[in-house]
């Protein structure tokens, strides 16, 4: 097979462009802020006066508030990115979530905490979709998988960083650190250039960021919904199995399971999973084959995490790391979403799809609470996990392979 000019160029100079590096660092700060709450949930709630028996219900309230913000923010930032440009979102979103997370460090009651988690959620919703869209548009199709893998890897390192910062400092200081990192990164973004594909589309009269183009086309709506469904197992693991690991550990007879440690180990595993899935996708020249492999592995790890007898916290934490590794198709899932649609809708899709998946934590958590009295903590979680995995596999079957797809096109009415 003959090589394109891009394939003959050295990989690193193409990969380490300013937009790619800044998008990757932005996702690091995004993930730090997003998962810091999972790490400091228990100590922060106790510190503002929440009783131990209310930690789970109030934690779900805050999580739902954050995810509701991400649902709204996903649509808001996605439309802005397609109408005004990818850079407008990279600036606006980081200002919002950085200031909101600084505010989180000053809360004294549940009402303040709930409002600020919502605002932070709105801001956090724009970072990843706009970043992935920019990376897929500035890199040649032969290496864009490496670019999105780099973004994901640095992002997941942000979640690990959240654990270590929270371990060294009080929870309020940890929020200040996250907000400060975001404001510092804002300075670097002044050197980022806009996607050439978007600039070309912007100069034309083509309709951009119009959500109705998705909703009124059966073909586009079907692709959009399928893209969302393939990500459900990832956020079930993160939003339920890992976030509420102390409650799941207690149901298995384990005392003293630390949610912060579970988050850190899960995202350490995801770093290796993201690297592995990205490289395997480049080797196989397929997104779908790798994703179905990781969904299958994730289902096996879910079953082990919830059903295997564990006598020590060490075994429990090993499964947290393995679950994280199997979650390593997160970037491939968002990359597929970006590759499925034309330049005039790409950012809208790439920003809203992961946030609808994140927002699915709300109904998944509601189902978990609903089934818990009858099935118990472990069985209700297993039931929901089986359902999300089955739905994801079916959805993936109906999606096209996008690995070699040309990105320079637009959606038309």
Tell me which residue has tokens 């600036």.
91
Supply 395's token pair: 């959805």
Tally: H helices and E strands in the chain: 20, 0
Q: Are 403 and 285 in contact (CB under 8 A)?
A: yes
**CA 367 to centroid of chain Cα atoms:** 21
State the DSSP code for 169.
S
Q: Is the pLDDT score of 278 beyond 70?
A: yes
Distance, in Å, from the CA atom of 354 to the CA atom of 151, rounded to the nearest integer, reads 15
With CA atoms as reference, report the closest residue to 379 among 258, 251, 234. 251
What Rg value do the Cα atoms of the chain yield, rounded? 20
CA dihedral sign of residues 374, 242, 272, 7: positive
- Note whether 274 and 153 are within 8 A (CB): yes
Q: Which two tokens stand for residue 96?
A: 């919002």
> What are 115's two structure tokens?
């409002």
pLDDT tens by residue, 343-380? 888 889 988 998 888 878 888 888 988 888 888 889 99
Where does the pLDDT of residue 8 fall: very low under 50, low under 70, confident under 90, or very high at 90 and above? Answer: low
Average pLDDT over residues 126-148: 84
Which domains, ranges and CATH numbers included, belong to the chain?
10-188+209-398 (1.20.1250.20)
Looking at residue 405, its pLDDT comes to 85
Q: What is the pLDDT of residues 151-172, one digit of tens each?
A: 877 877 887 888 889 989 999 9
List, as one string, the DSSP characters of 231-286. Answer: THHHHHIIIIIITTHHHHHHHTT-----HHHHHHHHHHHHHHHHHHHHHHHHHHT-
The predicted pLDDT at position 2 comes to 44
Are 209 and 100 within 8 A, CB to CB?
A: no
Distance of alpha carbon 257 from alpha carbon 244, whole angstroms: 10
Residue 394's pLDDT band (boundaries 50, 70, 90)? very high
Closest among 165, 191, 133 to 39, alpha carbons compared: 165
CB of 410 closer than 8 Å to CB of 206? yes
- Written as six digits, the tokens of 111 are 């009402």
Any residues with CB less than 8 A from the CB of 372 and at least 6 apart, and which?
380
> Cα dist. 60→12, 64, 160, 361, 373 in Å?
43, 6, 22, 10, 16
């Amino acid at each position: 097979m003959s090589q394109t000019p891009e394939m003959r160029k050295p990989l690193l100079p193409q990969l380490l462009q300013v937009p790619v590096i800044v998008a990757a660092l932005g996702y690091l700060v995004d993930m730090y802020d997003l998962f810091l709450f999972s790490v400091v949930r228990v100590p922060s709630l106790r510190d503002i006066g929440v009783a131990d028996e209310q930690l789970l219900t109030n934690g779900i309230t805050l999580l739902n508030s954050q995810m509701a913000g991400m649902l709204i923010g996903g649509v808001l930032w996605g439309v802005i990115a397609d109408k005004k440009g990818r850079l407008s979102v990279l600036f606006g979103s980081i200002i919002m979530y950085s200031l909101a997370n600084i505010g989180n460090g000053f809360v004294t009651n549940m009402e303040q905490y709930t409002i600020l988690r919502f605002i932070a959620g709105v801001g956090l919703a724009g970072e990843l979709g706009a970043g992935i869209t920019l990376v897929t548009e500035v890199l040649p199709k032969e290496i864009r998988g490496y670019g999105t893998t780099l973004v994901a890897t640095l992002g997941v390192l942000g979640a690990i960083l959240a654990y270590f910062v929270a371990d060294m400092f009080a929870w309020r200081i940890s929020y200040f650190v996250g907000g400060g990192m975001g404001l510092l990164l804002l300075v670097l973004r002044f050197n980022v250039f806009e996607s050439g594909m978007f600039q070309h589309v912007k100069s034309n009269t083509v309709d951009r960021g119009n959500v109705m183009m998705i909703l009124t086309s059966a073909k586009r709506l079907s692709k959009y919904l399928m893209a969302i469904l393939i990500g459900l197992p990832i956020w079930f693991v993160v939003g339920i199995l890992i976030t509420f690991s102390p409650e799941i550990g207690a149901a298995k007879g384990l005392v003293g399971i630390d949610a912060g440690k579970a988050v850190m180990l899960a995202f350490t595993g995801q770093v290796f999973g993201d690297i592995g899935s990205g490289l395997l996708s480049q080797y196989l020249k397929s997104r779908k084959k790798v994703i179905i492999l990781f969904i299958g592995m994730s289902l096996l790890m879910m079953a082990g995490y919830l059903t295997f007898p564990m006598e020590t916290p060490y075994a429990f934490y090993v499964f947290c790391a393995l679950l994280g590794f199997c979650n390593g198709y997160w970037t491939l899932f968002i990359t597929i979403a970006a590759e499925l649609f034309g330049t005039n809708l790409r950012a809208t899709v790439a920003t809203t799809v992961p946030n609808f998946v994140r927002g699915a934590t709300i109904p998944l958590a509601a189902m978990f609470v609903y089934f818990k009295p009858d099935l118990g903590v472990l069985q209700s979680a297993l039931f929901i996990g089986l359902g999300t995995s089955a739905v994801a596999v079916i959805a993936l079957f109906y999606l096209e392979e996008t690995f070699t797809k040309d990105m320079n096109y637009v959606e038309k009415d």
